[in-house]
Chains A and B, each alone.
Chain A
Amino acid sequence: MNPIATVEPLVVRRRIAASAEAVFDAWLDPKALAVWMRPGAATRSTATVDARIGGRYEIVMHMPGGSVPHHGVYEAIERPRRLVFTWNSPHAGDHDSRVTVEFHSQAGATEVVITHEHLPDGDAVGKHRGGWTEVLARLDAFAGERIQAPSR
C-alpha cells in the first residue's frame, strides 16, 4: 500500500446485526463504553458521559503501563443516525481530532461508519479535503519511488 494515499480522513465501517438505536445507545452509555472501548491490552476502561451537545466525555483505558485518558466534547447527537465528537488522546498527539459516527439502518442490521478526521488547525483539513486528496493522488507516483512505508 502506498502510505501517501492514506493521508486523508480515516473511514472504518462494520455491519452489526442490531437496530440502529441499540448500536447508537452503546456510544453514549458509560457502562457500555467501559466494555467495548477497552483495547486488548487494557485491563479495564472507565467512562463518564455528559450526553448533550457541548457536553464532555472521558474514557480512561487502564493499560499495564498506566492509564490512558481520552476525552472530547459532543458536537452532534442525532439519535439514531449520527454522532459527532472531538477526540483527544495522548496517543494522537494531545490535540483534538474529530470523530463522526453514522448509523445506517439496513434489513435487520446497522452499518456503522466511523470517519476520524485530524483537525490540528480548526476545520482546515476537513474543508480542504478535496484538494488534499487530489494532491496526495498526484504525489502517489513520486512517493512510490522515493519513500518507504512508515515504520511502526
Chain B
Amino acid sequence: MPKRIRLDKAIVTANDRLAAELADTYDQAGVLVVNLMSSPGAGKTSLLEATARGLADRFRMACIDGDLATDRDAQRIQRAGMPCTQINTGGGCHLNGKQVRDALDAHRLDRLDILFIENVGNLVCPAVFDLGEHRRVVVSSTPEGDDKPIKYPVAFRMADGVVLNKMDMVDATDFSVEAFRGYVADIKPSLSIIEVSCKTGDGLVGWFQWVAEARDALSRKAAPGAE
C-alpha cells in the first residue's frame, strides 16, 4: 500500500552543522570572522598583508589561510605582522568547517578582534561551504575580466562585500568598471564594491573602513544599548 509523506525539509549537511557550531564559538569569543574568497591570484594575500600593516594599531588580528600546498601565503601574512595558520587541503578545493575548527586551536580567539579566513583560490566551491563567518568578501581583480560576477553568481550573491583589486592595472586591460558594477548590481544591488590597489595602496582606506564598520556592528550586537 503506497503512501506519500510530505517533509519539505532543507538538506542539512555535516558542514552546515559545524558552521553553526563555529558561529557560536566566534560569538562567544566576541571575534569578528571575515571569510575571503576569490579566483587564484586575485590578491587575497596581498589584501591581508596590507590589512596587517594598515590596521595593526587599531585591532588585534589573526588569519587562517587555505591552500592546496605550501605555507607561502601564511609566511607572507606573518611577515606583515599578522599571526597566521596555514591549512594545506591537499587536493581540496575549499576550506570546510572541520579544517577551520582544527586550526582555531592555534589562536586565542578571546584575545582577538578580527579573524580572517583566506579561502582556497576558487569561486565555485568555497561559496557553498559556510564556515560560520560573520562577513563574506569576494576579491576580484581587473586582469580577470569584468564578467566574473555573472560567471560566478552564487559566490557574489552570498557575499557581503566585494573588493576590486589591481585598479593600478585597469588601463592595461579591457576591464570596464562600469560593466563590473552593473553585473554586481544585477546579482545583488546592496553589495558594496571597494576599488583598491594593494600594490600602490590606493583605495585601501575604504577597505579598512569597511572592516572597522563590520567590527563595530558586531560589538553593537554583543552589547546592545552600550553606545
Binding between chains A and B = no
A residues in contact (CB < 8 Å) with B: none
Which residues of B line the A interface, CB within 8 A?
Answer: none
